[in-house]
Every structure is written in C-alpha cells, then in structure tokens.
Amino acid sequence: MVDPVETAHEQMHQAQHGHRESDPFPRRMAVLVSFLAASLALSGIGAKSSQTSYLTHHIAVSDTYNFFQAKNLRANLRNSQAVLLESLPGADSPAIQERIKTARAEESRMRDEPGGDGMKQLKVKAEENERERDHAFHAYHGYEYASGALEISIVIASVSVVTKIKALGFAAATIGFLAAGYALAVYGHLT
C-alpha cells in the first residue's frame, strides 16, 4: 500500500523543484540583490574614503590659516616696530635706520617668501586644500545618495520576490543600476 503522507511530500518536493526551474525570476532577483549589495559595499567604502579625505583636508586648511594668522601678526608687529622707530627723535641715526630696514625686510619676508612659507604662499596652499576638501565633501554626499538608492533598490527587489510582482523587480534593477552608475561617476570625478 502507498503511504499518502509520503506521496504528498514527494509531490510537494517535485512541485517546488518544477516551479523553481520553470520560473527563473527569484533566481534573477537573487543575482540582482547580490550585485546591488556588492555595489552598496563599494559605495560605502568610497563614502568612508571621501569622509577621511574631507577631514584630512579640513585640518590642513585650519592649520594653514592658523599659520597664516601667526605670520600676519608677526608682520604687523614688525610694521609697528618700523613705524615706532621712524617716529623717534633721532630716527636719522644709522643704527635706527638699520633697525627700521631690518624690520621692513622681516615684514616683507613674512608677507611674501618665494619658495618658502610667506603669507602669500600660505594663502595659495590653504585655498588648494579648501578645493580638495570641498571636492571630498561633495564626493562623500554623492556616495551617500548612491548608497541610499542602493539600499532602497535591495528592499524593492526583496519585496518583488515575496510578492512575485515582476514590475517591482524591474524597478529595483533600474534604481540599482542608476545608483551604481552614479557611484561610478562620483568615483570617476564626473559629477
């Protein structure tokens, strides 16, 4: 005699196997989710890298402007020294004239020292670090937007498998591929 429970198990097993082979949609969605998850991981790495670059350049900007301000203070001090020496009685004496000349030369060197770190050179360096910092800041936000879209597309793809609504799967694929493309554009500095 045939056991009906065993027969039912066999039929359910065959139905499950047959259904999987005839409907490749869940398998395709699994591959899509894998691609989206890998893209999300890479986008997260890019975001962290951009965030680190932003912080590094932000600190460099701050340090450079602090150095600039210190130079400015010293240059103003030398200028005040020269003005004070010029206002003294007997400012015509060679010793005082030499001190005035030295103070003016030091002030000039503080403001512009080609090949060195005068205020003019420090300002250029700070502005370059600001540009790099701002670029890293925008890249970070680009990666964050891409990561958010990738997360949403993974959720939509998962829902499409559970509900068996293929339109959701196509929407997830579209959003995911656009987000991955945007992350690549951010990486390639195209945005």
Q: What is the pLDDT of residue 160?
A: 93
Residue 129 in tokens: 């670090």
| Helices within the chain (DSSP H only) | 4-22, 25-87, 94-111, 119-163, 166-187
**Residue 15 placed within a domain:** no
Q: How confident is the model at residue 22 (pLDDT cuts 50, 70, 90)?
A: confident
**Residue 12 placed within a domain:** no
Q: What is the pLDDT of residue 63?
A: 97
Q: What is the pLDDT of residue 15?
A: 56
Domain carrying residue 145: 28-187
For the chain, how many structural domains are there in total? 1
**Residue 170 placed within a domain:** yes
Q: Does pTM top 0.85 for this prediction? A: no
DSSP character at residue 118? -
**CA distances (Å), origin 115, targets 103, 118, 124, 156:** 21, 9, 12, 58
Burial of 78 (0-12, 13-18, 19+ CB in 10 A): buried
**Residue 39 placed within a domain:** yes
Residue 52 pLDDT greater than 70, yes or no: yes
**Residue 177 placed within a domain:** yes
Q: Across residues 13-27, what is the average pLDDT? A: 69
Nearest to 75 by CA among 32, 108, 101: 108
| 3-class DSSP state of 114 | coil
